[in-house]
Amino acid sequence: MSKHVLAQNQYGKAENRIVAITRKGSDGSWHEIRDLNVSVALRGEFRDVHLTGDNGNCLPTDTTKNTVYAFAKEHGIASPEAFGILLAKHFVSSQPVIHEAQIRIEEFAWDRIPVPTRKEQHSFARKGQEVRTAQITYGGSSGLQVISGLKDLTVMNSTNSEFHGYIKDRYTTLQEAYDRILATKVTARWASSATAAEDTEHDWDRSYKKVRTHMLEAFAETYSYSLQQTLHAMADRVLDNVPSVNEVRLNLPNKHHFLVDLEPFGLKNDNEVYFAADRMYGLIEGTIHRDGVRPVIATSDWITA
């Protein structure tokens, strides 16, 4: 018997890649695509598996993988959130030794390539770099938690951004800016209310589009004196306009753009030519939640991103 204590643990199958095609129309010639990366993590009565190698309470990770693919066929994929809810509830309800399940999903979007000369529409182009995400945690008596999100959404304001009046000490060399480029690659996560999570009719696709729209509108419409101010405005706009969302967490790296010195060439650079730096970068992070609501996103991570 080990003299040490087994603490928090979980296991599962990570990054199950699945592309599901739904054929619509009387002849099935209109195709819809869901392209997902699904990770499963389970918690429960797994002490003996670790300490003695007794696998009596171990559901094989291969089984969790098979379940993902079978559920895509049996239930379809209405949205990443809805699919994750089905999977999480299945694992907890089907095996008494499993007390909690977390499903993390990335969705890769595709744009349709229209072909006017044919009836069939089944050609697609991968859509940009933005990736939709979803994380579903279910623990039976502890309830259902749904955290939606996106990552790798790069945005830019070419003006209407300043940065000045900051602390200056002996190591400060940054010049104050009164007209600068503000650019960032957005990683956003938002927690839905318990009511929305438990609503089997909740339209997760519509909710995702609304949150994304309000974040982008706030980014574009905010005259920014700091990326922190912009972060708060983006989250605030979501909470003001999407009642089903209780909490928004944003990760915004500052994609720095520096004016190029063109004076050696006898040229004036009037905020027209910039050097785009990818290293190093400022990293601005923050969580905004409704008053009286306990934040959950910061403590919800199981699977390493």
- Say what angle helices 204-221 and 227-241 make with each other, to 10 degrees: 140
Give the CA dihedral 118, 122, 128, 131, nearest 10 degrees: 150
Residue with tokens 């279910």: 138
Which residues on adjacent β-strands are paired with residue 181? none
Q: How many residues does the chain have?
A: 305
The catalytic position among 65, 90, 255, 256 is 256
CA atoms of 245 and 185, how far apart (whole Å) = 22
DSSP of 130-185: EEEEEEEEE-GGG-EEEEEEEEEEEEEESSSB-B-S----TT--PPPBSS--EEEE
Catalytic residue among 31, 61, 210, 257: 61
| Catalytic member of 13, 202, 255, 289 | 13
What is the DSSP track for 66-83?
HHHHHHHHHH--S-HHHH
Is residue 75 flagged as an active site residue? no
Judged by DSSP in three states, 213 sits in helix
Closest CA to 284 of 187, 194, 211, 215: 187
How do beta strands 274-276 and 257-259 pair?
antiparallel
- The reply to whether 73 belongs to the active site is no
CA distances (Å), origin 242, targets 70, 196, 224, 235, 258: 33, 11, 23, 11, 36
Asked if 119 is an active-site residue, the reply is no
Q: Tell me if 44 sits within 8 A of 97, measured CB to CB.
A: yes
Which residues are part of the catalytic machinery? 13, 61, 256
